[in-house]
Amino acid sequence: MTSSRLISIVLVLVALGGGLWYALGALEQHPSIDLGLPGKSERSLIHLEPADLDRLTIEQPRFNLSVRIERIGDGSWRLLDPVQDWAEPVAVLSALNALYSQDWTDAPADWSEQDLQALGLEPAELAVEVRDANGATQILRVGASDYSGRWRAAQLDGKLIRLGEGLTSPLTRDSDSWRDHRIQPLPPPAIARVIWTSEQGEVLSLARKGNHWQVLQPYEAPLDERQEAFVERMLGARTVALRRERLAEFPLPGERFGTLEVIGAKASFQLDLFESGLAASHRAYGMDWEADDFQLLFRDPETLRSPRLLAIDPGHIVTLRVERGSDDGVFRRSSGGWTLEGFGPLPPEESGFLDELLDRGARIEGNVWQAVPDAPPAGRVRYAISRTPRDDAPALIWWIAVDGSQLAAAEGANRATPTEVNFDRAVAELFTRIAALR
C-alpha cells in the first residue's frame, strides 16, 4: 500500500453529528543597532579609520545650524547639539558613507587662481569635522557648485578638491532629521515579548514563538496570523514628530491609555501612550504616535485568537511523541525520514504518514467551540523542537464521542472543537503497522 493511499484511508474525513518608566535622559539604556560601517579604500575622501570615529560635527552657517554627533561605547550614536537625544542610525550611516565615498577628484588647475570667496569657500556653505578616538581630525569645507551642477568646490584639510554634488545631501539634513525617530529601538526580530496594560488594568501579553506570535494573556492561544503584520508594524513604528520640550519639565497632558512593555533578550523598554503623545523610558522627549500603528492594542482580545489549535511551525519540529491507550512511541526526524526510538528508521510509507500527521496537527483549526470534556483524552501527539520531547511542548489531544465523532484541543486549553480529521483511527493504524514491522 502506498503512503498516499495509507494517508487517504487513515486520515479520513468523517461526518460529524455535532459539526476545532521614565528614565528621562538615560541615554545609556538605548541599545546599539549594527548597521555596519562604511568601507575604506585608498580613494576614500576621509582617511581616518571608520571603526575609530567618535565625533562628527556639521555646520551650515547660512542656516545658523550646528549638529554634533558622538559615538558611545556600545556603538550607538547620540546627538549633543542642537539637542541631546539619540541619533537616527540610518542618517548617521548615510553621512559616513558620503564621507568615505570616492566621488571626488583633484581640483581643476584654474581653481588655484580663484580666491576662496569666488569658490564659495569663504565662508563655506558647509563645514564637516570628523574626529577619531585618538584625537585626529579631518575637516571638509564645501562651497559653490560649478557650472555643470555635477560638482562642488571643496577643501579637505586645506587642500582644494572637486566634490560630487550628491555627497552633500546626506550631510545637510535639518536638525530633527538627525534625531532617532524609532518609537522603540529594538529591531522587531530581537523582541521576545510585549505586554500591554491598559489604564483599566486589562492585560494583553504576546510572546514570539519561532516565526509566529502567541497570546499568553488574557488567554493562551496562537495569535491569528492575519494579526501578525500589525504586531510587526507596532514594533517598527516611527514617530511623525519629536517634541523639543523635556518630559521632566512638560509631562504629557490628557487621557492616558496604558503602558506597553517591549522585552528583548538584553534590553527592555516601556512606552506610555497618552492621547496627546507617547513617552518612552529611554527618551527624554515626548513623541507623536499614529493610532493606526498601535491599533492592535485597542482591539477586542478575543478577535486576536487564531483558529489554529497549536502555535507550531512544522519546519522546526524534530520529535513527535504519539500516545494512544497503551501504545506510546517517540519518533524523531532524520535526513532520510523518521526513526522510532527502540526500533530504528521507518519505511517510507510510515515516514510519509508521520509527515502528514505533523502537517495536519499544525494546520488544524477550530470551528464550533465547546468546553473541554472532563474525561481523559483518548490520545495525544506532542510536537517538540528538541530531540527529547519535554512535557511542556505543545500537544494535540482528542476525545471520541459516543457517535464516533471527535473533539480536539491543545493540551492545557479550556476549549475544544469538533474535528473532521480522525486522529484516533490514524494513530491506531500507525501503531498497527509498526507492530507488523517488528
In Å, how far are 47, 127, 285 from 278, measured between CA atoms? Answer: 42, 35, 9
Report the interhelical angle of 423-437 vs 348-363 (nearest 10°). 160
Condensed to tens digits (0 to 9), the pLDDT of residues 11-50 reads: 333 322 222 233 334 444 555 555 667 888 889 999 999 9
Neighbours of 211 (CB within 10 A): 11
What integer pLDDT is reported at residue 14 of this predicted model? 32
Q: Which distant-in-sequence residues (6+ apart) come within 8 Å of 383 by Cβ?
A: 310, 312, 317, 319, 320, 358, 361, 362, 393, 394, 395, 396
Cell of 114: 580663484
pLDDT score recorded for residue 69:
95
- pLDDT at position 252: 94
Tell the burial category of 29 from Cβ atoms under 10 Å away from its Cβ (0-12, 13-18, 19+): middle
Task: Give the DSSP letter of residue 396.
Answer: E
Are 204 and 196 contacting, i.e. CB atoms less than 8 angstroms apart?
Answer: yes
Burial of 196 (0-12, 13-18, 19+ CB in 10 A): buried
Asked whether the whole model's pTM tops 0.75, one would answer no
pLDDT value at residue 265: 87
What long-range pairs does 393-398 form, CB within 8 A, spacing at least 24? Answer: 394/310, 394/311, 394/312, 396/309, 396/310, 396/361, 396/364, 396/423, 398/423, 398/424
Helix axes 423-437, 3-10, angle to 10 degrees: 140
CB 286 within 8 A of CB 245: yes
In 3D space, the residue among 125, 181, 185, 135 whose CA is nearest the CA of residue 155 turns out to be 125
Compute the distance between CA of residue 241 and CA of residue 90 in angstroms, rounded to an integer.
17
HSE-up of residue 134 (Cα within 13 Å, Cβ side)? 7
Would you call 148 helix, strand, or coil by DSSP? coil
CA 379/CA 322 separation, integer angstroms: 8
Q: Which residue has the cell 491598559?
A: 198
List the pLDDT tens digit at each of the 438 positions of the chain: 343 333 332 333 332 222 223 333 444 455 555 566 788 888 999 999 999 999 999 999 888 889 999 998 767 899 999 989 999 999 999 999 999 999 999 988 888 888 888 888 888 999 999 999 999 999 999 998 877 778 888 999 999 999 998 899 999 988 889 999 999 998 888 999 999 999 999 999 999 987 889 999 998 888 998 899 999 999 999 998 899 889 999 999 999 999 999 999 888 999 999 999 999 999 999 999 999 999 999 999 988 988 888 888 888 899 999 999 999 999 999 888 999 998 889 999 989 889 988 888 888 888 788 899 999 999 999 999 998 888 888 999 999 988 888 999 999 888 899 998 899 999 999 999 988 887
Q: Nearest CA to 360 among 420, 429, 293?
A: 420
pLDDT at 3: 37
Q: Are 12 and 414 in contact (CB under 8 A)?
A: no
Q: How far is CA 205 from CA 213, 222, 250, 419, in A?
A: 10, 12, 30, 28
Please report, for residues 126, 307, 353, 378, the alpha-carbon distance to residue 326 in angstroms, rounded to integers and kept in the order given: 81, 31, 20, 11
